[in-house]
Amino acid sequence: MTIAKKAADGSPKVPEDGASAGGEPPALTPTEHVFAITEDQPLTLDSGGALAPVTIAYQTLGELNRDRSNAILVCHALTGDQYLAGKNPATGRPGWWETMVGPGKTLDTNRYFVICSNVLGGCMGTTGPKDIDPSTSEPFGLNFPVITIADMVRAQKRLIDSLSIEQLFCVTGGSMGGMQVLQWAANYPEAVYVAAPIATAARHSAQNIGFHEVGRQAIMADPDWHGGNYYAHKVVPKRGLAVARMAAHITYLSEAALQNKFDRNLQDRAEVSFGFDADFQVESYLRHQGSTFVDRFDANSYLYITRAMDYFDMAAEYGGVLANAFRTTSTEFCIVSFTSDWLYPTAENKAIVRALNAAAARVSFVEVESDKGHDAFLLDEPEMFTTLGGFLQAAAIRRGLA
């Protein structure tokens, strides 16, 4: 069942052309909802157990058409959330994919019904480790089950079913969002008309697992983590979570991006301090990334979601052959990578393309030239917009949506 919680604000309807002549573009009017999985039909988990109740918080933009054929599901990344457009209530900042989503944009909300849900294990309204465990009436903490990307997608499928959408026009997302896209296409091929995984991988590499483990160890090393039970102590493992975020953030950028943005520029000083202050802008920037992150993200969610990513290995689920995941697919794929992304480099994305080719699936692939690193998928990358826009337009014509 779907419960319309509230419209995000009372701003006026977006005009059809998606842009007002002159002045500020009209504010987006996403709608927030929650969907509940109840005890009578608990969510099956890869770990063997089941979970209920589960709340899924999600946002929608645009209108579902009469045929229920124009829905696009956007899957968010590790530290993303359902607030892909409009003002994020936790940060007060614009949604994380406003470059991509909106009236007249690549994911055109005048045309498509765009859905984005907070992942299972998240901390923005969907059930996760900070929520109350009904069996103890205390927050789950580490009693929350370890989840997988497939579990996240299984929860999303329940949501999509609840909306009576038999087939999503498109499933898309970058990074961990791309992993969910692949899982959707593999597990529910009939429910995905086209799929656009961006800057992602079909399996987490040793280096990726290594960086995640650094972040988890930083969190667990913080005495305020209290074995995951910090809720009871009314503290937050801020220092550990901030360090985890700092380390991860470096991996989201390219060396060139850091160099271009910061070089060795000093922060508000003419000379180095011969001390351990943030002498360099890059230090100040990373500290800021760390300290603001802890205000909006739950440390245990960080543990659980990174774990889900580390466990992700689609080939392993299909007898060790990635192509087997897509043998029967009629979904058409568009895969985008970025030249300077060293977290999910082009080689990882090409491995998906090769598997799709081996499965005789229809796939187009573009490596976008960018010096922005992994985070390019969140930024203003015209070649990405053009590529996905053209792909969606052709698919919309075939699907009778044009």
Give the residue numbers marked as catalytic: 175, 341, 374
Q: Does 207 bind a second copy (CB under 8 A)?
A: yes
- Among residue numbers 39 through 68, which ones bind a second copy (CB under 8 A)? 46-48
Strands 362-368 and 50-51: unpaired
- Among residue numbers 313 through 332, which ones bind a second copy (CB under 8 A)? 313, 316
- Residues with Cβ within 8 Å of residue 377, at least 6 apart in sequence: 174, 175, 198, 199, 336, 338, 384
What's the start-to-end Cα distance of the chain, in Å?
A: 30
Whichever of 272 and 397 has its CB closer to a second copy, that residue is 272
Contact 286, 249 (CB under 8 A): yes
Amino acid identity of residue 185, one-letter, is A
Q: Does 270 bind a second copy (CB under 8 A)?
A: no
Strand partners, 195: 171, 333
The correct pick among 3, 132, 221, 321 for binding a second copy (CB under 8 A) is 221
CA 119, CA 100: separation in Å to the nearest integer? 20
Q: Does 119 bind a second copy (CB under 8 A)?
A: no
371 half-sphere exposure, CB direction, 13 A CA radius:
7
The correct pick among 160, 303, 305, 334 for binding a second copy (CB under 8 A) is 303
Q: Does 95 bind a second copy (CB under 8 A)?
A: no
The SS3 call for residue 332 is strand
Q: Does 213 bind a second copy (CB under 8 A)?
A: yes
Whichever of 33 and 154 has its CB closer to a second copy, that residue is 154
Q: How far is the CB of 372 from a second copy (least distance, A)?
A: 14
Q: Does 229 bind a second copy (CB under 8 A)?
A: no
Q: Is 137 left (phi over 0), alpha (psi -120 to 50) or beta?
A: left
Q: Does 261 bind a second copy (CB under 8 A)?
A: yes
What's the helix, strand, coil split of the chain in %, to 5? 40, 20, 45
Q: Does 351 bind a second copy (CB under 8 A)?
A: no
Q: Does 204 bind a second copy (CB under 8 A)?
A: yes
Task: Write b or e for each residue in 14-43: b if 16 or more Cβ atoms lie within 10 A of its Cβ, otherwise e.
Answer: beeebeeeeeeebbbbbebbbbbbeeeeeb
Q: Does 142 bind a second copy (CB under 8 A)?
A: yes
Q: Does 143 bind a second copy (CB under 8 A)?
A: no
Where on the chain is the footprint of a second copy (CB under 8 A)? 46-48, 142, 145-146, 203-207, 209-211, 213-214, 216-218, 220-223, 239-240, 242-243, 246-247, 250, 253, 255, 258-259, 261-264, 272, 274-276, 278-280, 282-283, 286-287, 290, 303, 307, 310-311, 313, 316, 342, 345
